[in-house]
């Protein structure tokens, strides 16, 4: 059974797809459901994906497909997917993919992440299996790991991580940061790669892994 907000979001996406063939933006979904931040939209989308009501179309920003509606709500007349002309342009090189670019993420003090919904062209060789998105790095706390201010971090979506992996960690469902993930007794420790910064320690219920670092892009 869906929560009220999950049900509202599913119907909003289905209605927008039926009218225009294009998924609503995260900003439009946030406003339609009167949510305070886009992180709430991400949680609802994730829950609908988990329950197999929707799926994300791979390697295309703003591309959702409604697979089914709740019992009693009927099924979509036909599965509606964003038509090819509405997708972000892909470079002529078949080995380049477009992945969603979700704003900036801190490699220092946490800042709000997963904002915005543009795309970034990425060589396919930099991406392994799974679903990916990109974040622009802000700050210098990961410089000793070779991650510099202005780099683009390529993130594989994941909800769990092994000790020592570099992750996007969402803290208190509000702020996100890029750090090494480690477990320390009953705590989660987020380690910088810059001796000028101290590790951050949180209880596990305050930290949610949003993805693991898969690669980096740097522009000169």
Q: What's the full length of the chain, in residues?
A: 220
List 23, 30, 38, 179, catalytic entry: 179
For 214, the enclosing helix (H) or strand (E) is: strand 207-217
List 23, 39, 119, 141, catalytic entry: 141
The answer to whether residue 179 is catalytic is: yes
The answer to whether residue 141 is catalytic is: yes
Scored b (16 or more CB within 10 A) or e, 93-119 reads: eeeebbbbbbbbbbbbebbbbbbbbeb
- d(CA 99, CA 76) in angstroms, rounded, equals 27
Instruction: DSSP letter for 140, please.
Output: S
- d(CA 136, CA 107) in angstroms, rounded, equals 10
The residues annotated with a catalytic role in the active site are: 141, 179
């Amino acid at each position: 059974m869906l929560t009220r907000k999950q049900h509202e979001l599913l119907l909003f996406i289905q209605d927008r797809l039926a009218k225009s063939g294009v998924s609503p933006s995260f900003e439009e979904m946030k406003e339609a459901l009167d949510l305070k931040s886009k992180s709430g939209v991400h949680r609802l989308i994730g829950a609908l994906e988990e329950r197999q009501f929707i799926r994300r179309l791979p390697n295309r920003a703003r591309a959702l497909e409604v697979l089914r509606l709740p019992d009693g709500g009927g099924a979509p007349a036909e599965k509606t997917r964003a038509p090819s002309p509405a997708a972000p342009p892909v470079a002529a090189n078949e080995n380049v993919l477009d992945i969603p670019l979700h704003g900036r993420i801190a490699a220092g003090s946490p800042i709000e992440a997963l904002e915005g919904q543009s795309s970034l062209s990425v060589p396919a060789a930099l991406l392994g299996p799974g679903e990916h998105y990109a974040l622009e790095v802000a700050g210098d706390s990961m410089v000793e790991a070779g991650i510099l201010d202005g780099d683009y971090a390529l993130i594989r979506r994941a909800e769990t991580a092994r000790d020592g992996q570099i992750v996007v960690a969402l803290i208190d469902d509000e702020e996100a940061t890029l750090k090494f993930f480690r477990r320390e007794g009953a705590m989660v420790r987020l380690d910088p790669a810059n001796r000028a910064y101290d590790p951050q320690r949180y209880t596990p219920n305050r930290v949610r892994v949003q993805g693991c670092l898969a690669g980096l892009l740097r522009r000169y």
